[in-house]
């Protein structure tokens, strides 16, 4: 068994989940940011990812050390969220009607993204730990003859 493939797949998953966590932190940090009336403010971001699916030829070449797959972050895109409008005539960025436009960040959804990314990251760390323990145990068994 090629343990390096397990490490590569889990590392790819950890990278995507770290990016997801970074983007959610950015969205939460800018949740209360405003911009002057008539200008475009911060827009929440989302990470799009896709699986790396090996082709049939790759599956046949697994003995030759080909990678089994994993995941990759395709891109970070702006979410299509309507801005949150708050009536605050005293705010320096209020428009003529006294409304202030805040980014359409959904606090609950972002916290859910943070928790999901953390759990997925932990699962990938556990998979690496299990593969490491299996490799170590196989070396111990092989050395006892």
CB 88 within 8 A of CB 79: no
pTM listed for this prediction: 0.80
Range of the domain at 93: 3-142
pLDDT tens track, the chain, 145 positions: 577 888 888 988 999 999 999 999 999 999 999 988 888 889 999 999 888 776 666 656 655 555 566 777 678 999 999 999 999 999 999 999 999 999 999 999 999 999 999 999 999 999 999 999 998 998 888 776 5
User: Torsion-angle region of residue 70: left (phi > 0), alpha (psi -120 to 50) or beta?
Assistant: left
CB 85 within 8 A of CB 97: no
CA distance 52 to 70: 5
CA distance 29 to 43: 12
What one-character DSSP code corresponds to residue 55?
Answer: P
The count of structural domains within the chain is 1
């Amino acid at each position: 068994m090629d343990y390096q493939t397990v490490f590569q797949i889990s590392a790819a998953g950890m990278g995507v989940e770290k990016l997801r966590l970074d983007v959610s932190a950015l969205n939460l940090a800018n949740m209360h940011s405003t911009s002057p009336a008539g200008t475009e403010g911060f827009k929440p971001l989302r990470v799009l990812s896709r699986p790396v699916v090996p082709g049939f030829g790759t599956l046949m070449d697994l003995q030759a050390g080909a990678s089994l797959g994993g995941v990759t972050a395709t891109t970070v895109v702006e979410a299509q969220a309507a801005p949150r409008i708050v009536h605050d005539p005293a705010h320096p960025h209020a428009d003529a009607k006294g409304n202030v436009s805040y980014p359409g960040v959904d606090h609950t959804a972002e916290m859910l993204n943070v928790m999901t990314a953390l759990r997925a990251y932990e699962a990938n760390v556990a998979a690496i730990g299990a593969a490491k323990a299996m490799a170590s145990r196989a070396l111990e068994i092989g050395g006892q003859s």
